[in-house]
């Protein structure tokens, strides 16, 4: 009996423990399910919170910065725009409204960004008053001219600084002007009064300025390139480089009527290391004018005409010192120009022109293809003066074609003769428009000649001798 009671107690304890375990497992399962259900509700609530009314899911703000794995690519840097369109700065581009302020604003912004491009877009006309675009700027700034840039059509007056040039580029380095557009100086109103009043300035209208502006002028700039654009109808010189170094002009067109006085194509002064090539220049004065302070200049593959040819000078005006050296002019075609290859100096000047080469020049109906004139005078009468800029080491080689007035004119100073002048492979025939002298004119010029030489009078043009002349040239060139 006692044994049966003990067995019953053990069975009751066993069933109690089993029942307790079953309750424990059931409670645990309910707790897990409750937590799972709560998590799904929270997820749906957050999803709804970050979904806008259009059903797009927005990313919830991150409260903690995640660590980027080492192999993940870096995000690209935010880059600043390098294109500065003048229209974006308020330019109208209609050719009527003054866009000068917009141009100044665009320049100021572009100047601060390396590799920037300031742009005049095509199919627009931009009227600009006299302005200065100056540096220093960040390197590799480009002025892209694809539209039409216009100067005021009326003659303007004001301080002399506004009459030196229309657009002045100042203190620039590593700068380029390029494009398919046109720069129009609208200079016809400046030319008209000049002709009848040139020798009677006192009769010129009082409202007309004594000076006429250059279209584009570079001052004190380095490593400058001008290419592809067209410059037309400047009031005065079209493109000028003053006190600049490292200049390249390539594939540009310059155009003005033959009757537009003093409208030089390209004018160089106090500039070194210059190359001008593969361009078309027609104007009312020198296609290329090389003035005092210039050296290491290379001019080649130029079509010149109308105009006055390619000239060094006038040099030494008013007894000033002029220094020009190391000039090469090669592969030039000149058509219907007043002169071809020319050096011109004023009486009484000082300094020296040396190491100059004119070669491979073809002329067509040029009045005087070869000239050295040390009696240059832009008036009807100039006073005779002693002394002159010394001219030495000048070569004229392979110059062929037709002339209409005189084949060659070498008029050197009586006190400072030209020395070391070389004439070789020259063949010049009278043109159909010939109205002049068939013989060459030479005065006080020393050097050597080499056949073939046509006309034959060129062969007797140069005098022989040297040591005394070289001393004279060196003494006059000391100031250089």
Residue 308 catalytic?
A: yes
Catalytic residue among 99, 264, 285, 373: 285
User: How far is Cα 384 from Cα 292, in angstroms, rounded to an integer?
Assistant: 22
Count each helix (H run) and each strand (E run) in the chain, helices first.
6, 30
Catalytic residue among 308, 373, 409, 476: 308
The residues, any chain, with a CB within 8 Å of residue 471's CB and separated by 6 or more, are none
Task: Decide if 284 contacts 259 (C-beta within 8 A).
Answer: yes
Task: Decide if 271 contacts 293 (C-beta within 8 A).
Answer: yes
User: How far is Cα 374 from Cα 413, in angstroms, rounded to an integer?
Assistant: 6
Residue 277 catalytic?
A: no
| Inter-CA distances, 57 with 39, 41, 51, Å | 20, 18, 4
Q: 477: burial class by Cβ within 10 Å (0-12, 13-18, 19+)?
A: buried
User: How far is Cα 8 from Cα 138, in angstroms, rounded to an integer?
Assistant: 103
- DSSP E strands in 404-465: the ranges are 408-411, 418-430, 441-443, 445-454
Both structure tokens of 328 = 């090469």
Task: Decide if 357 contacts 327 (C-beta within 8 A).
Answer: yes
The residues, any chain, with a CB within 8 Å of residue 75's CB and separated by 6 or more, are none
**For the chain, how big is the Rg over CA atoms in Å?**
40
Write out the catalytic residue numbers: 285, 308
């Amino acid at each position: 009996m006692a044994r049966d009671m003990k067995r019953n107690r053990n069975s009751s304890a066993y069933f109690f423990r089993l029942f307790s375990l079953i309750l424990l497992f059931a409670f645990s399962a309910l707790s897990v399910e409750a937590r799972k259900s709560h998590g799904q509700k929270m997820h749906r609530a957050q999803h709804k919170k970050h979904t806008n009314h259009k059903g797009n899911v927005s990313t919830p703000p991150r409260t903690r910065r995640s660590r980027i794995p080492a192999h993940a690519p870096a995000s690209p840097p935010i880059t600043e725009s390098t294109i500065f369109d003048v229209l974006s700065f308020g330019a109208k581009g209609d050719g009527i409204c003054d866009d000068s302020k917009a141009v100044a604003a665009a320049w100021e912004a572009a100047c601060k960004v390396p590799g920037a491009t300031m742009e005049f877009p095509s199919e627009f006309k931009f009227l600009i008053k006299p302005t200065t675009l100056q540096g220093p700027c960040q390197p590799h700034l480009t002025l892209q001219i694809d539209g039409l840039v216009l100067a005021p059509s009326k003659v303007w007056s004001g301080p002399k600084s506004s009459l030196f040039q229309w657009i002045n580029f100042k203190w620039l380095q590593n700068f380029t002007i390029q494009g398919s557009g046109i720069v129009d100086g609208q200079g016809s109103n400046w030319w008209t009064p000049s002709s009848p009043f040139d020798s009677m300035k006192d009769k010129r209208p009082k409202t007309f300025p004594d000076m006429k502006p250059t279209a584009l002028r570079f001052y004190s700039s380095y490593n400058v390139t001008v290419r592809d654009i067209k410059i037309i109808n400047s009031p005065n010189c079209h493109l000028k480089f003053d006190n600049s170094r490292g200049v390249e002009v390539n594939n540009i067109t310059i155009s003005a009527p033959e009757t537009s006085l003093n409208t030089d194509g390209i004018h160089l002064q106090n500039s070194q290391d210059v190359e001008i090539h593969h361009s078309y220049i027609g104007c009312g004065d020198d296609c290329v004018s090389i003035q005092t302070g210039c050296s290491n200049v290379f001019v080649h593959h130029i079509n010149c005409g109308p105009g006055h040819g390619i000239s060094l000078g006038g040099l030494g005006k008013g007894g000033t010192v002029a220094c020009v050296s190391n000039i090469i002019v090669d592969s030039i075609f000149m058509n219907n120009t007043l002169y071809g290859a020319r050096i011109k100096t004023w009486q009484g000047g000082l300094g020296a022109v040396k190491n100059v080469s004119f070669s491979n020049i073809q002329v067509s109906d040029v009045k005087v293809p070869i000239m050295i004139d040390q009696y240059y005078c832009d008036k009807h009468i100039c006073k005779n003066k002693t002394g002159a800029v010394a001219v030495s080491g000048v070569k004229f080689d392979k110059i062929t074609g037709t002339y209409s007035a005189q084949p060659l004119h070498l008029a050197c100073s009586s006190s400072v003769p030209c020395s070391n002048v070389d004439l070789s492979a020259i063949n010049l025939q009278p043109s159909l428009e010939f109205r002049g002298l068939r013989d060459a004119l030479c005065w006080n010029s020393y050097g050597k000649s080499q056949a073939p030489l046509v006309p034959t009078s060129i062969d007797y043009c140069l005098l022989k001798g040297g040591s005394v002349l070289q001393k004279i040239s060196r003494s006059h060139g000391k100031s250089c």
